[in-house]
Structure 1
Amino acid sequence: MTRKTLFITGASSGIGAETARKAVAAGWNVGLFARSEDKLSALVDELGEQALALPGDATSLEAQTKAMAKLAEHFGDVDAAFANAGMGVSGAGTLAGDPEEWQSMVQLNVMGVLWTAKAASTYFKKNGGHLLLTGSAAGRTHIKGSVYSATKWFVHGYGGNLAEEFREWGARVTVVAPGMVDTPFFDEAKPDKLKPEDIAEAVVYALGANKRANVQEVFVVPSG
């Protein structure tokens, strides 16, 4: 069976890195896109010839477009993409929030997702591929003054809109929405919360669903 190929942003650690591991184990090739070239190289050493390091900045449409082209040249196509890169901010709320942090966060959490969708759509219109987005439980509730939560509301709304567009090509869109996950996203460990592999398993589940089924949203929240 020919291996399909998955492009992952934010692939150097946390949910992105675990998704790469789970996807390779499930029979996928993976393109690992992130800014940390050293971490990507180490992950490629671990995963072997089914992985390709693609250093780059997710806030750049040009970088994502070039990375997907390199991935397609290397493995033959881009069958799926996971827009996973994201960030939070240190100051919660509007009054205490830092406008420069907001700017960086919107560039990554909103524009970075748009760039992944834009770059991937060229391939998916031809091959009926699958786009996955990292949403959040915070993107379905109102949190006092939270700009981060609002960026995830965007992801959920845009994911639904994309699903309507991509359906015309036979392509699928899934928003994977975690609750709190113990990842490097947080300054302090969250040992009683979800682990990155829990979210990675949800991604691989959605990827493996029968072509007739679009798993449009998956919520994964701590059971405790």
Structure 2
Amino acid sequence: MKTIVITGASSGFGAALARQLVEQGDTVLGLARRQDKLAELAQELGARFVPYAVDLTDKAALETTLTTIKQAHPQIDVLVNNAGLALGVAPAQQASLEQWETMINTNVTALVRITHALLPDMVARNQGQVINIGSTAGEYPYPGGNVYGGTKAFVHQFGLNLRADLTGTAVRVSTVAPGLCGGTDFSKVRLGDADKAAAVYANVQALSPEDVAGTICWIINAPAHMNVNYVELMPVAQSFAGLSVHRNAV
């Protein structure tokens, strides 16, 4: 059985994944900012779920938490970099710089710091796995995606470049890029309005957190000689947008 670190573990993909991994007998170390949600999940899942309440964008607090984790659990088998968020849909020229910086700090900087802290031990043991949660927004631009899409494009390229650096080791790296997925706080956080968030998923059978978690579990349980480089998921209802063409008024 494996010891697995999940960031953003208190809800959405992270919580769904924690449930599936604990059910199969793994130990999950769940990192998230919301202590109350982590406590609820710990009560539900029992001793195999170990909560760590930490703001991933707080460098000092994150370093302290990671030191504690490594002391208590010297062998981390899998790191799932799940924590991330989108804020706003305004065009770049009208967007909030503060929101941009928050997305970069969460989606990129925190992910890099955690990976940097845990990867060397995996390499030293010649065993381990890093799974990053990207997004279709990192592949397909759309109006209002700007920095969010940019951060997820970074996640994809970072994973591929890690694979290049890890050639010759048995450490695996994968990126999972979901499309439209309901049952999470993603759109509510992004739009700041529950009704607007609900409208995003109206009359659409979107992916569920369990769908994404199941894919991650499959990657974790794949044969040790097989690396899943990149998996992109969409609901059948979603497809590729046509290129935008702006036409002048006649």
TM-score after normalising by structure 1: 0.93
Cα distance in 1 for partners of 2:75, 2:64 equals 13
Cα distance in 2 for partners of 1:218, 1:101 equals 28
Given that 1:29 and 1:75 are in contact with CA atoms closer than 8 Å, whether structure 2 keeps it comes out as: no
The one-letter code matched in structure 2 to 1:161 is N
CA drift at 1:141: 1.4
The one-letter code matched in structure 2 to 1:26 is Q
Match of 1:153 in 2: 153
User: Structure 1 residues 60, 122: CA separation in 2 closer, same or farther (over 3 Å shift)?
Assistant: farther
Given that 1:33 and 1:56 are in contact with CA atoms closer than 8 Å, whether structure 2 keeps it comes out as: yes
Cα distance in 2 for partners of 1:168, 1:186 equals 40
CA drift at 1:92: 2.5
CA drift at 1:67: 2.9
**Ranges in structure 2 where 5+ consecutive residues have no aligned partner:** 189-196, 238-250
Match of 1:143 in 2: 142
Cα distance in 2 for partners of 1:132, 1:30 equals 14
User: Structure 1 residues 167, 62: CA separation in 2 closer, same or farther (over 3 Å shift)?
Assistant: farther
Q: Which stretch of structure 1 is more off in the superposition, 142-151 or 93-102?
A: 142-151
2:100 is the counterpart of 1:99: no
SS at match of 2:207: coil
1:91-145 per-position Cα deviation (integer Å, ceiling 9, x unaligned):
4221121111101111111101101211111321123210011100111112235
TM-score after normalising by structure 2: 0.84
SS at match of 1:138: helix
User: Structure 1 residues 167, 67: CA separation in 2 closer, same or farther (over 3 Å shift)?
Assistant: farther
Match of 2:113 in 1: 115
User: Structure 1 residues 115, 23: CA separation in 2 closer, same or farther (over 3 Å shift)?
Assistant: same
Match of 1:46 in 2: 44
Match of 1:221 in 2: 234
Match of 2:185 in 1: 184
1:1-27 per-position Cα deviation (integer Å, ceiling 9, x unaligned):
xx2100011111001111111111122
The one-letter code matched in structure 1 to 2:33 is R
1:54-78 per-position Cα deviation (integer Å, ceiling 9, x unaligned):
1111224444443344334444521
SS at match of 2:166: helix
Larger radius of gyration: 2
Match of 1:198 in 2: 211
**Ranges in structure 1 where 5+ consecutive residues have no aligned partner:** none
Match of 1:211 in 2: 224
Match of 1:32 in 2: 30
Match of 1:170 in 2: 170
Percent sequence identity over aligned pairs? 33
Q: Which stretch of structure 1 is more off in the superposition, 178-187 or 139-148?
A: 139-148
1:166-190 per-position Cα deviation (integer Å, ceiling 9, x unaligned):
3343201110100011111112232
Equivalences for residues 63-102 of structure 1 within 5 A: 63-102=61-100
Cα distance in 1 for partners of 2:38, 2:72 equals 16
Cα distance in 2 for partners of 1:64, 1:93 equals 32
Q: Which runs of 4+ in 1 moved over 4 A?
A: none
CA RMSD of the aligned region, Å? 1.6
SS at match of 2:28: strand
1:158-209 per-position Cα deviation (integer Å, ceiling 9, x unaligned):
1100111233432011101000111111122326211111110111110011
